Structure 1
Amino acid sequence: MTPTPKAAAVAAPARAVLGEVDRLLARLEWTLLDFGQRKLAAGNVVAVPPGSTRFHYVVSGAVETTAGGAPVRLAVGDFLMLPRAGAHRILALQDAVLASGELETAASMGLPLTLTLPETFAACGFVVREPHMGPLIETLGLEFGGVRAGNSVMASRIATIIASAAIRSWVENGCAPDQWLVSVRDPHIARAVAAMQEAPGEPWTVETLARVARASRTVFAERFRELVGDSPSRYLAAVRMEQAGDLLSQGDLSVGAVAHRLGYSSDVAFSRAFRRHTGVSPAAWRREADSRVQGVTA
C-alpha cells in the first residue's frame, strides 16, 4: 500500500531522528570501570557514591531509587541509567538481586552525548524489549575482573552494547524528551545544551551560549527555540530545578549551598523558583525525600 502524503510527512521526521540516534550511538565507545552484583534483603538501603555514568539492572525482586530527586521503582528486568551519576540510594522493596556498574564514555566530534541525556532514565521492561540483554549482562559479570587476556576489552565492548541498547529502548518507548531528540539533530545546539547540563550554576546568557554554539545571538535563539521548544533561559531554569531536586534529596548540602551551586543570588530567589517549578518549598522536598527513606528502613 502506498502511504498517503500525510502519513509520509509524519514518518519522515521519525526516520530522521532515528537516523541521528544511529549515528550518535555508532560514535560511542564505553569503558567499563566497575561491575558487580549484590543481594539486598527487603528494607535494605544502599548508598551509591557519585560516579561517571552508572547503571542498575534488577535481576530479581524490586527496588526503589532516589536518583534524580523523584523516586523511581524498578522491577525484574528493568534497567536504570544515570549518565551523570550523583550520589543516590537504592532501597530494596523486597528481597532483590541488583547488577550495577560504572561506565566512562567519550563521543567523537566534540559532542558529549551523556551531557545531552537526562540525569537519569529508565528502560522499563528492558529484557522484554531486548531479550538478548539478560544473557549479555550475565556474561559481563564473567568477563569483568577475569584473568584471561582481553577480559577488560571484552567487558567494555559488551557494556557498550548494553548501554546503547538501553538508550535505544528509551527512545523507542517514547520516553526521550523532545528537547533531547531534536538537540541531537543539531550539534551546535547540543553543545549549548551540554554546557548548561554540565555547569548549570554558570551565569549563562543568550550571548555566551551563542558563542558556545558558534552562532550569532539571533540565529542561536531562533534555532534553540525551534528545536528545543523553549527559550534558552527557561530551559536553563528547568535544568537547575532538576539538579536541585537531586541535591536536596541527597541531604548533603544546605538549601543555601544548593542555591549557590546552581547560580542563584540568594536563598530567597532559589526557594521562589523551586516552589514555582515543583509546587513545594526546598525544605518540604527534602523532608519528603527523608520520609521515603525512613519509611522503607522502618
Structure 2
Amino acid sequence: MTVDADALARVLATVDLRVGFARRVPISSGELLPMMPDAMTLVYVAEGGVAGHPPLQAGCRLDVDRSSQEVSVDAGAPRDLLVSGDAFLTRGGSPFALEADGDTTLIVLDIELADAASPLLALLPDLVTVTGFDALEPAAATLAAGMGLVDPTQFPLRRTDPVICKLMATTVFLSVIRAWAENGCAPAGWLRTSSDPFLDRVIDAIHDEPGRDWTVERLASVGAMSRSTFAERFRSAIGRSPAEYVTEVRVDQAKRMLDAGRSVSDISRALGYASDEGFSRAFRRRTGMTPSSWRLAHRTPVSA
C-alpha cells in the first residue's frame, strides 16, 4: 500500500509526547522481559535478538537489502525473532514479554502521549514491527542506540535533561511509525479518520483551512448533510464534537507555528480567533500551558 505523504505528515505532526523515558536493558540468554501492561512501549534491539511471548508472527515484515536499500514486504512471513537494528512498538493492550536469544541489549522507551485523544491512538494497531529499522531510518536508529540511562560513575559530567530526552524519544517514535507506514505495512485505508467519505471530506477541509470560521452549519454543508445528522454522525465516528475537533486541529497547528517562531498575535489571527486572549484560553485548555510557556518548554537547546 502507498501512503499519502501529506496525510501521514499531518497525522505525525499532531503527536506530542508527555513522557519519553528511555532505559538501556541488558538481558541474558533465555531471560524474559515483561512489557508494562496498558502502556505504550517502543523497543529498539541494540544488540542480540528477542522473541515475543506470545509470538510476534502477526504483523508485517520488511526485508531490507542493505547494499541496494531496496525494501520488500511480506505481510504473512513468520518472523518472531527480532535482531539488532529491528524495532517494534506495542500499545500494551494485552500481556506481552520478550525472551532474549543470546545476550541482548534493548533500548526500551516508555511512551505517553500528551493528548489521550490523539488521532494516532485510533489509527495504530496493537503491534507495529519494523525489521531493518537501522537501514530504513539510520539517523533515528543511531539516536535510539545512544539512548538510555548513563552510569554516572562512568560519565560524571553527563546530565539527563527531560526536554532533550523527550525530543529524542519523539524523533525515534515518529521514525518507527513513518518507516512502518511508508514501506507498505500500514493496512488499506489506515490514514482515514473515519470510514465515511462525507465525514472525511469535512475533516480534510478543517485541516486545509483551520483558521476558517467553521460553524456546524458550514461543516454540515461541506459534508452534504443536515446540521443535526452531521453533528450526530461526526461525534459517533470521531468521538468528539465538531467544535472540539476544530479546536484540536487549530492548537496542533499553533504548536507548529510557535516552533517556527511566529508571534502569538500572528497565530491567533491566522487561526481565526477574535483575540489573543481567546486563542490563549483555547490553547491552555487543551495543553495545560499558555502558548508562550509551551514555546519555552519545547525550545530546542542550542549547543555551545
TM category, shorter:
0.5 to 0.7
Alpha-carbon distance between aligned partners in 2 of 1:184 and 1:18, rounded to the nearest angstrom: 18
Alpha-carbon distance between aligned partners in 2 of 1:111 and 1:133, rounded to the nearest angstrom: 23
List alignment gaps of at least 5 residues for structure 1.
Answer: 1-12, 190-207, 216-298
Cα deviation, 1:172-211, whole Å, max 9, x if unaligned, reads 220111142334797957xxxxxxxxxxxxxxxxxx9875
TM-aligned CA distance change 1:214 to 1:168, over 3 Å: closer
2:183 to 149, 166, 173: 173
Matched, 1:141 2:148: yes
Which residue number corresponds to residue 214 of structure 2? none
Matched, 1:91 2:99: yes
Matched, 1:212 2:236: yes
Cα deviation, 1:64-97, whole Å, max 9, x if unaligned, reads 1136875732111001111345431111122211
Which residue number corresponds to residue 112 of structure 1? 119
Q: 5 Å matches for 1:54-69?
A: 54-66=41-53
Alpha-carbon distance between aligned partners in 2 of 1:166 and 1:144, rounded to the nearest angstrom: 27
Cα deviation, 1:246-273, whole Å, max 9, x if unaligned, reads xxxxxxxxxxxxxxxxxxxxxxxxxxxx
TM-aligned CA distance change 1:144 to 1:85, over 3 Å: farther
Cα deviation, 1:121-166, whole Å, max 9, x if unaligned, reads 1111001111112331244325899998881111011111111100
- TM-score normalised per structure 1: 0.52
2:21 to 7, 16, 34: 34
Contact 2:19 2:111 in 1 (8 A): yes
Cα deviation, 1:21-54, whole Å, max 9, x if unaligned, reads 1011112111335321122221112222214310
Alpha-carbon distance between aligned partners in 2 of 1:42 and 1:149, rounded to the nearest angstrom: 32
Per-residue deviation at 1:117? 0.5
TM-aligned CA distance change 1:148 to 1:174, over 3 Å: same
Instruction: Give the counterpart letter for 1:22 in structure 2.
Output: A
Query: Which sits farther off after the overlay, 98-107 or 162-171?
Result: 98-107
Point out which structure has higher relative CO (alpha carbons under 8 A, 6+ apart): 2
Which protein has the larger Cα radius of gyration, Structure 1 or Structure 2? 2
The structure with the largest helix share of the pair is: 1
1:151 to 151, 161, 185: 161
Alpha-carbon distance between aligned partners in 2 of 1:214 and 1:66, rounded to the nearest angstrom: 33
- TM-score normalised per structure 2: 0.51
1:100 to 88, 100, 108: 108
Matched, 1:131 2:141: no
Instruction: Give the counterpart letter for 1:151 in structure 2.
Output: D
Instruction: Give the counterpart letter for 1:129 in structure 2.
Output: L
List alignment gaps of at least 5 residues for structure 2.
Answer: 59-79, 201-231, 240-304
Per-residue deviation at 1:115? 2.6
TM-aligned CA distance change 1:76 to 1:18, over 3 Å: same
TM-aligned CA distance change 1:34 to 1:76, over 3 Å: same
Contact 1:49 1:86 in 2 (8 A): no
TM-aligned CA distance change 1:86 to 1:153, over 3 Å: farther
Per-residue deviation at 1:102? 0.8
Alpha-carbon distance between aligned partners in 1 of 2:161 and 2:32, rounded to the nearest angstrom: 31
Which residue number corresponds to residue 163 of structure 1? 173
Contact 1:46 1:89 in 2 (8 A): yes
